[in-house]
Structure 1
Amino acid sequence: MEFLPLDRVRLLESPFARAVETDLQYALALDPDRLLSPFRREAGLPARAPGYGNWEDSGLDGHIAGHQLSALSFLWAATGDAEARRRLDAMIADLAECQLANGGGYVGGIPGGQALFEALATDDDAAVANLGSSEHWVPWYNLHKTFQGLIDAHAVTGAQEPLRIVAALADWWLRIADRIDDATFERMLDTEFGGMNDAFALLATLTGRAEYAAQAERFSHRAVLDPLLRGEDALTGLHANTQIPKAVGYASTAQATGDDSYLRAADTFWHLVVEHRTVAIGGNSVREHFHDARDFTPMIDDREGPEFCNTYNMLKLTRTLAEHALRPELLDYAERAIFNHVLASQHPQHGGFVYFTSMRPRHYRVYSQAQLGFWCCVGTGLEAQARSAAEWVFGIEDGSPAVNLYLPAETDAALPGVRLRVQADLPRSGDVVVSVDPTTARRFSLRLRVPAWAGALIDLQVNGRTVQASDAAGAVVIERDWHPGDRVTFGLPIEVRAERLPDGSPWQAFLAGPSVLAARSGEAHLDGLRADDSRMGHIAHGPLLPFVDLPILSPGEVPAGLEPFADIHDSRYTVYWPTADGDVATRRAELRDLDDGLALDAATVDAVALGEQQPESDHAFAGTGSEVLTIGDRRWRTTTERMSVRMQTSGARILRVRYLTRSQSTAVLVHVADVLVAEERFAGGEGEVLDIDYELGGQGPTTAEVRFTAVAGLPSPAVGTLRMLR
């Protein structure tokens, strides 16, 4: 399918149009000089304003500026707002100045970034290790945002300056990459690199330069690509949004190179994630990682549910696959994600963005503030609200205009001389009107999508008369002579339907039309509802409510108080409900067992899961001689030297450490605030999980370093979750 340019589609009054306007106001509240301060610092130029804090001064300096380039491009296209375009052009001019001052083509906000990357030209393992060390926060991921922002600025606006800047940046990297052998390059890709394969594939398509396509292939990370080519699901335990952009890049690399094996890998990835790892709202992952697809207990249990970045990038992948070959399930997924996860992840009044959307019953989500929160999901949120709905509504398939989503919008670009307008209010009403208004009478085919949840378009008419339509995959096609002012009308069924979790476990969500339904569950203890600038402010840290007193639904039962999930804000909510086919007492006992962790959660001052990227970053992880082990969907860290994190300790009296014994003997010293609290030695014994508590004594500092040091020439045991307990 060919999708229409964003500037040729206009959303009409609806929650989707309001989301674009809210997004515009949020984007314009950000100071370009503050966003670009890291770039000027790295170029040796005087800052025009101090940089922002939060993630913007913690190693990801400058990542939001890249997102902002994309967002302003999309917002200008979607609204025609002159100030969005003025700011975009000003930011591009500033980046050009920084690139010139750097010399050689580099431009970025990463602390010491140019030297960090150029050290890789030595083809030295130490330089690769340094790039992925705890001293740096995913430099390639950060630089990718600059690449992508410049590519989007050119692709959307047609301006040549952003293409010149990004091509010079790409050429700077090619000169380094030419001196790195393939094995070293592949080791470099073990550290998150965003969608760099996608960026080089897009540049190859834009410029026709074969060396960019070749670089896209080098960035394709065989460790993830090869299992996909074999049709294997090797995703369990992996950081989800590290992998999804790679799959986006596989799809675009196929377009750039003509090698369909990349497309097969991307398609396999899409099926694995959408069909086996995605919940009702269109999101995936728990605590940012892919859990075991056979067990969705973590999805229901954890406060850190689907991450918004994942869904935004899955929509990118879905679009690229649909551009290659349209399949009904691609549009079904896009609709699900846009009507639910995307629309729900921006506050409709103040515009704050959501990081984690918990699927735990009766939990809640928190929102960013424009001057305080600079998480990854703020960046993708800025982009997604500007583009997601409008770019999917219309398309062209087999030369015919197509209507893909039923939400208020209009275009004159699907067919020259024909204006299409959609009027709908799903899920409040199933009535849909598609106005077809050619300048003069003419014959053509109109494709109308039939959503999988609908099954058919009810009472399909043109100008009040029943019309015959031919069937197509996931659609019907009306071929006729069209006249100015023609109106197509039909109905879609909006009956409430139930949907279980993908693993088939007895938890059920409810939908009406394209929309997930939820019930409000009170407004008590919404701690951190509007997040501050703390490193972990994006997590809804308020108390978890018990499972045991949830209503247990019988077959066919629908809970009271349901409304579209995307309408619920500033409140606790329930999306998934426990069900029982008959034995309610047994099901109640299962819920009671799930509550075993509540007391532990309430007693926890702070917790960090070692081996998980974001918790480690939030807790200032540092380590040498350390590696991550992935066992099932759990991650652990070991060290042959030392590793440490900084934890909140106010009121804490116990440090609880979860260890995993290994096949060989292990030993470790445990220090808290430089005080030795334990020396542990474990004989070889693969796979035993041990939770060991260490008394901390009286009141101490509000934060402390927790350090693990290998001793006696032995490696440390694997260390999992650390908890400071009251």
Structure 2
Amino acid sequence: MIGAAALSFGAGSAARAVAAAVRAPAKVQPLPLGDVRLLPSDFATAVEVNHKYLLRLSPDRFLHNFRKYAGLEPKAAIYGGWESDTIAGHTLGHYLTALVLMWQQTGDAEMRRRADYIVDELAEAQAKRGTGYVGALGRKRKDGTVVDGEEIFAELTKGEIKSGGFDLNGSWSPLYTVHKLFAGLLDVHGAWGNKKALVVVEGLGGYFERVFLALTPAQVQEVLGCEYGGLNESYAEMHQRTGNPRWLKMAELIYDNRVLDPLSNREDKLANFHANTQVPKLIGLARLYDITGNEKRRTAATFFWDRVVHHHSYVIGGNADREYFFEPDTTSQHITEVTCEHCNTYNMLKLTRHLYAWDQDGALFDYYERAHLNHVMSAQDPATGGFTYMTPLMSGAERGFSSTDDDAFWCCVGSGMESHAKHGESIFWEDDAGGLIVNLYIPAEARLAKRGGSVKLETSYPFTPTSTLSFAKIKAGKFPLSLRVPGWANGKAEVTVNGKPVTPVFARGYAIVDRRWQPGDTVQITLPLDLRIEAAPGDDSTIAVLRGPMVLAADLGSRETKWEQADPALVGADLIAGFVPTDAAAGRYATKGVVRPSNLDFVPFYRQYNRRSAVYFKRFSEAAWKVEEAAYNAEQARLRDIAARSVDVMHLGEMQPERDHSLTSEMSWPVTYRGRQGRDVRSGGFLEFDMAVKPGPLMLQASYWGDERGRTFDILIDNTKVATQKLDHDAPGKFFDVEYAVPEALTRGKQKVRVRIVPKDRSTAGPIFGVRLFTAKPAAAN
């Protein structure tokens, strides 16, 4: 039952007025995933496609390093990509969980057989080692050789710690990888009571207990400076399964002071932290609150959720740019091709479910629905089963499903195979007082064990407004049925029972019908699916278009055709009036007169698998657009003028131009940002390349991103310094060009020169998004 004070609604909704009070909420839990079966929909298709993908994968290939490093003969070749790097083994943990979820979601016995087989193999490898440890992660030594990563843990216990954000003593996020194995084993044990899985995970738990207890508090914090996933959550869960206080002590010990203390004090200091590294830590704190009742843990988890959802997220529910949190309410400055890492949303949905168990506020599932529909569903290509790493929101960016071969096992492949194995897990919830809650309108059937019957949910939502719930073979009895009414519906929900209108109680985001239910009863809820505008947090001039929970996108064409036009804008006083439905049941609209430079069709964003899209738009009045258009034309004229005077252009980050200009470098890597390619140079490295010259005064121009911080580097021509460039928030939210005069003495009598970029000590050069040499304009006559 959903508890809250009365809510009030605007004129016209008096018939749906709420009761003055509703009893306090009872404890809730989702219906077991094994009791839910999806009916045909995009969600069911995603599960089916993922099911085939899981069957295609080979357990023995994932187990290669586990056996090899334990001194056992591998049974199959190792996978490529991350599985052949020092982070090897993380995918197996995800795969175990995905197998469990797919078994629960579909009942396929092969999923369970594979999971049990993997546990048996891990138990054999663990016994062979004899230390409690079992793992596949590697360690890169100073000479470049990759060896069994277990040797780093012996170094840690001696106080030999070299910890960075993702590297710990030469191994890539080893505790993150360990956590995935903990989680997978615990899921196998929890699903069907595989006792061997618990034995293996407790062996691992004891091994890492010895590692951590050998450290001083300061050393623990140093180790935790490297990503450790949700290892605190796993230890907390081990405590709950076994009752062993050792594991609770470990869960409390694994606490990153630098990140978690501010959140416990309700301080948002998330900017510039790697986003997905942090979310699992908060899931762990939420689990610890359940066990200990420590209010600081609850405060940190709820405050973090609120700040991320309302101040650090995009319209599709994802968060982070280049994997990092940005300053709150600056979303509009971070609409790039590297937004919305899928793992972040996977973990945010786990946290949302946890918070909902504490406080049954429908607003939590408003977020869940948005992120689940628009981000998670967009991150899998139903034609291939491939996953995205990022879901880019920059206009014209290609989504990029690159996990369809055996060399792509990055983190979001692991979270992707889990996400698309469990689309039925949060549709139906029940409380301990007998109430039933519908949180997601996804077609499904579910067994109601407590009621001795079943329930069926039929709907085409969010494409059509009505969802129908029918009870079959249910024991007659009185209980409340709570149907979520999203906040964007503004309380405008129509409910019928057996075809007759009823007046439900509206409370905390739910329409509640409390009556005596009988077999054959049918309930319908109809929600308005009007188009609406939503501004980016902190910037009313940057907007997106939604229909109900579904984000719409302008269709910019096939991914095969590169988008090289200006970003479209929305212009006018009544933008929604310019949208005309062409196929409302499919969420498709044409536009008339409100898009610049020309009309575009709008479609559901998540279905743009192999299409290019625009999601965010700058909004202008007609008068403001004329000013913007004039400024745009002036900029184009400037660029044409420079192009006409150009002698040579260096497209950094592109293979053929770099070869053509004889580029050499050390500690330098290509980068792509907001559709532009470039390069940076790290401390101790350099970048140099040839550029053609001609007689007369020349200017060297370099392009930078305006939000870089604290970068200082020298620019040399033929080993003569022509400039020292400092970058520090020079042009927030945009690229900018800097021009450097080239002394004629450096080019006289030459056909080419050598440009060299060198960062200052402990600094970075760039990134630099292109370099150009062009003739200087003649000095103006006096």
TM-score (norm. length: structure 1): 0.82
Among candidates 567, 573, 583, match of residue 613 of structure 2 = 573
Q: What corresponds to 2:652 in structure 1? A: 604
CA distance, structure 2, for counterparts of residue 227 and residue 351 of structure 1: 40
Q: What corresponds to 1:303 in structure 2? A: 337
1:506/1:662 CA distance change after superposition, 3 Å: closer
Deviations 1:225-278, CA, capped at 9 Å, x for gaps? 111122111011111111111121221121232212111001110011001111
2:558 is equivalent to residue 518 of structure 1: no
Moved more, 492-501 or 289-298: 289-298
CA distance, structure 2, for counterparts of residue 384 and residue 259 of structure 1: 30
CA distance, structure 1, for counterparts of residue 709 and residue 487 of structure 2: 49
Q: What corresponds to 1:556 in structure 2? A: 575
Q: Unaligned stretches of 5+ in structure 2?
A: 1-27, 139-147, 580-589, 591-600, 656-664, 670-679, 694-699, 732-736, 773-782
Report how far residue 168 of structure 1 moved.
0.8
Q: Residue type matched to 1:108 in 2? A: G
Report how far residue 485 of structure 1 moved.
0.7
Deviations 1:96-133, CA, capped at 9 Å, x for gaps? 11111222111111112211122211133x45579835
CA distance, structure 1, for counterparts of residue 106 and residue 666 of structure 2: 41
1:108/1:722 CA distance change after superposition, 3 Å: farther
2:491 is equivalent to residue 443 of structure 1: no
CA distance, structure 2, for counterparts of residue 96 and residue 172 of structure 1: 14
Contact 1:135 1:622 in 2 (8 A): no
Q: Unaligned stretches of 5+ in structure 1?
A: 527-542, 608-618, 624-635, 700-705
CA distance, structure 2, for counterparts of residue 246 and residue 691 of structure 1: 42
Contact 1:553 1:578 in 2 (8 A): no
SS at match of 2:421: helix
Q: What corresponds to 1:406 in structure 2? A: 441
CA distance, structure 2, for counterparts of residue 71 and residue 707 of structure 1: 47
Query: What root-mean-square deviation, in Å, do the aligned CA atoms of Structure 1 and Structure 2 show?
Result: 3.8
SS at match of 1:411: strand
Among candidates 5, 14, 34, match of residue 61 of structure 2 = 34
Contact 2:715 2:758 in 1 (8 A): yes
CA distance, structure 2, for counterparts of residue 683 and residue 332 of structure 1: 47
Among candidates 500, 503, 506, match of residue 535 of structure 2 = 500
- The residue correspondences of 1:403-482 to structure 2 (distance < 5 A) are 403-413=438-448, 415-456=450-491, 458-482=493-517
Q: What corresponds to 2:22 in structure 1? A: none
Report how far residue 585 of structure 1 moved.
2.0
CA distance, structure 2, for counterparts of residue 212 and residue 433 of structure 1: 46
Deviations 1:283-319, CA, capped at 9 Å, x for gaps? 111111112223234432x211111111001001111
Q: Residue type matched to 1:331 in 2? A: F
Contact 1:308 1:381 in 2 (8 A): yes
- The residue correspondences of 1:647-658 to structure 2 (distance < 5 A) are none
Q: What corresponds to 1:18 in structure 2? A: 45
Contact 2:703 2:771 in 1 (8 A): no
SS at match of 2:488: coil
Report how far residue 549 of structure 1 moved.
5.3
Based on CA coordinates, which of the two structures has the bigger radius of gyration?
2
CA distance, structure 1, for counterparts of residue 169 and residue 704 of structure 2: 21
Deviations 1:608-660, CA, capped at 9 Å, x for gaps? xxxxxxxxxxx99799xxxxxxxxxxxx9975xx4689x9x999999979798
Report how far residue 669 of structure 1 moved.
11
CA distance, structure 1, for counterparts of residue 666 and residue 58 of structure 2: 28
Identity %: 33
CA distance, structure 2, for counterparts of residue 420 and residue 40 of structure 1: 46
1:9/1:686 CA distance change after superposition, 3 Å: closer
CA distance, structure 1, for counterparts of residue 181 and residue 427 of structure 2: 28
Deviations 1:370-429, CA, capped at 9 Å, x for gaps? 423111111100001111x31110101362111111110121236331311111111221
SS at match of 2:425: helix
CA distance, structure 2, for counterparts of residue 195 and residue 601 of structure 1: 47
1:440/1:178 CA distance change after superposition, 3 Å: closer
Contact 1:605 1:650 in 2 (8 A): no
CA distance, structure 2, for counterparts of residue 276 and residue 362 of structure 1: 25
Contact 1:606 1:725 in 2 (8 A): no
2:387 is equivalent to residue 353 of structure 1: yes
- The residue correspondences of 1:128-147 to structure 2 (distance < 5 A) are 128=163, 132=167, 135-147=170-182
- The residue correspondences of 1:198-237 to structure 2 (distance < 5 A) are 198-237=233-272
- The residue correspondences of 1:161-240 to structure 2 (distance < 5 A) are 161-240=196-275
Q: What corresponds to 2:317 in structure 1? A: 282
Q: What corresponds to 1:627 in structure 2? A: none
Q: What corresponds to 1:721 in structure 2? A: 767
Contact 1:299 1:359 in 2 (8 A): no
1:687/1:461 CA distance change after superposition, 3 Å: closer
Deviations 1:53-108, CA, capped at 9 Å, x for gaps? 11111222121111101111100110011221111111111111111122211111
SS at match of 1:499: strand
Deviations 1:21-41, CA, capped at 9 Å, x for gaps? 111111111111111112122
Q: What corresponds to 1:58 in structure 2? A: 85
SS at match of 1:247: helix
1:106/1:575 CA distance change after superposition, 3 Å: same
Contact 2:137 2:177 in 1 (8 A): yes
CA distance, structure 2, for counterparts of residue 69 and residue 651 of structure 1: 54
Contact 1:54 1:373 in 2 (8 A): yes
Contact 1:661 1:686 in 2 (8 A): yes
Among candidates 331, 355, 358, match of residue 321 of structure 1 = 355
Contact 1:431 1:489 in 2 (8 A): yes
Contact 2:168 2:174 in 1 (8 A): no
Report how far residue 547 of structure 1 moved.
2.9
1:92/1:370 CA distance change after superposition, 3 Å: farther
TM-score (norm. length: structure 2): 0.77
Report how far residue 490 of structure 1 moved.
2.5
